[in-house]
Structure formats: structure tokens, C-alpha cells
Structure 1
């Protein structure tokens, strides 16, 4: 399972290309062979998936009943704009213009690793979302970190 770590401040060049930081690229050893997929995030951000992670998501989506209107709406919204990314010889990827516009991405961005994916945020928007961290982070942790049935609670 892919486990990505780190938060990287980056700049897009005039053509909308992103230089993948060396420390992040090292965590993605198969990226040049497999590639990446970029898509809209649930907030006003983008998400980059290693191709193998995206393929797993597609498998999950393919199990949904496409005769159900809600499922079709979700699949349509979730996959809208999804695009393959490949690194050029200089280690850059070109962010699709339509996706960058959707997320309001300027030249200063943050790549925030989230388990097996990388969120792409406009730097100002990312700082704004971090400013809205709940005052009682411990209470949020207690609420969301409930063990799954059959799991342990770390004790």
C-alpha cells in the first residue's frame, strides 16, 4: 500500500507545469513507468493519485449499480476532468488548465500528501483551510478515529 508523507511548497511555471519535488518523487518509484492521475478534490482542490491507486478506485466505482441515479451522478461528478499525468524529461507534470481553474490554483501551490494520494491546493486556499482547524482537535480525533468492527483501538 502506498504511504506518502510530506507537505511541499511549489511553484507552477508560466505554462502551468509543476516540478515534482525530489523527496516526493522518491516516494513514487514507479511514477515514470506507471504515471499519475489528477482529478478534482471534494473541496476546491485537486488530487493526484498514483496510477495503481486510481485503478483501485475505478474498481470500486465499477461495483456501483449504474442503474441507480445517485450512483451515476456520483461517478460522473467524481471522474469529471480526471486526466493522466506523465513526467517529462525534467521531472515536471502539466496540470490541466480546466482543473487548475476549477481549484483556483495560482502559481504558488502546496502539495499535501494524504495517505495514498496528494492534494494540490492554491497556497492561500490551503492556509485558509488550515486556519479553520477545529478548536478542539482532540474531540474531532475521538469522533472520527472509532475503530472498525474487529479492529483495535490502539490499547
Structure 2
């Protein structure tokens, strides 16, 4: 019989205690145990980025991480990105506006990677953008629209920063 682990992972803001086989990947736990199928499995070797989720705000490959390693940690999946009424985040909205998605397979991992980038760097360079999305393979877009989406989000953040506390433009 496979060794079992008791884990308690905060997933999308909700504590999710579970008992899982020790060798269960985080991706399989999210998809099979929690029904969060927005985490896609592509290569299952940590190369394609389709399974990217945020672990304590940092992008990780959930296919090569064990669920037990996430014990006591906070995981955000694509299902946890939108607001309580389903409103899109700035990143998700920019992906829609720029057509930065086609088949949609890479989109959840790509959106999470971009979100982590803009959360830690409000003015990333082209090189930093390319580095952030470079670990996620997209076979459809050629990355042009994805870069445009990031640039729109960054421009929007810069516009917000230019407002004074009373809301007047500088």
C-alpha cells in the first residue's frame, strides 16, 4: 500500500485538508482531488509550463511538485484569479483584448506567470517579460500578443501610479 500524507493546502484562499498518496503531484491533487481542471497537464516533465500555478505568489510547475510539498503553503490556480463575481483581473482582461490566447491550452499557466511578474515588478523590461513567459510554451500565438498583453497591464499600472491621492492626473 502506498504511503499516505496528511496535508493542508490553502487553495485559492480556502483551506483544503486532504489525505493523499505521498507520490501525488500537486497538479494531480488540484485536478483529480479538488476538481480544478484549469491547471493543464502537457509534458508532465516541468518543461512546457501548462501546469503553472502560484505557490505563495511565485510560479511553480505543479506537475513536478508533490502535493505534500505544498502542505502549509498557499496555492493559486487560474480558478482563483477572478474576482468573487467572476470579474477578470487586469491580466486576464489584457489577454482577451490583445487576443493573447488561441487554443487556450497554455493560457492558465501563462496568465499566472504574467500575474506573478506584474505583482513583483510594475515596470518590467522586454527582457524581463520574455524571461517570465519563456518557461511557458505557446504553439499558437508566437508570443507577440502575450507580450502586448503584459505591456498593456504595465501601461495601465503606470497610469494608475500617475494619479495623485485625490484622483487628479499629475
- TM-score under structure 1 normalisation? 0.27
More RCO (CA 8 Å, sep 6+)? 1
Structure with bigger strand share is: 1
